[in-house]
Amino acid sequence: MKNAKKSTSSPPPPFTREELVVINNALNEVCHALDFSDDEFQTRIGYSRTFVQSLLRKVGKVLER
Does position 11 have pLDDT exceeding 70, yes or no? yes
Of 38, 33, 65, 34, which is closest to residue 51 (Cα–Cα)? 38
Of 1, 3, 4, 61, which is closest to residue 27 (Cα–Cα)? 61
Residue 41 identity (one-letter amino acid): F
Backbone angles phi, psi at 64, to 5 degrees: -75, -20
Segment 44-59 shows an average pLDDT of 95
- pTM beyond 0.85: the answer is no
Specify whether the CB–CB gap between 46 and 4 falls below 8 A.
yes
Backbone angles phi, psi at 13, to 5 degrees: -70, 150
Does position 42 have pLDDT exceeding 90, yes or no? yes
Residue 6: its pLDDT value, please? 60
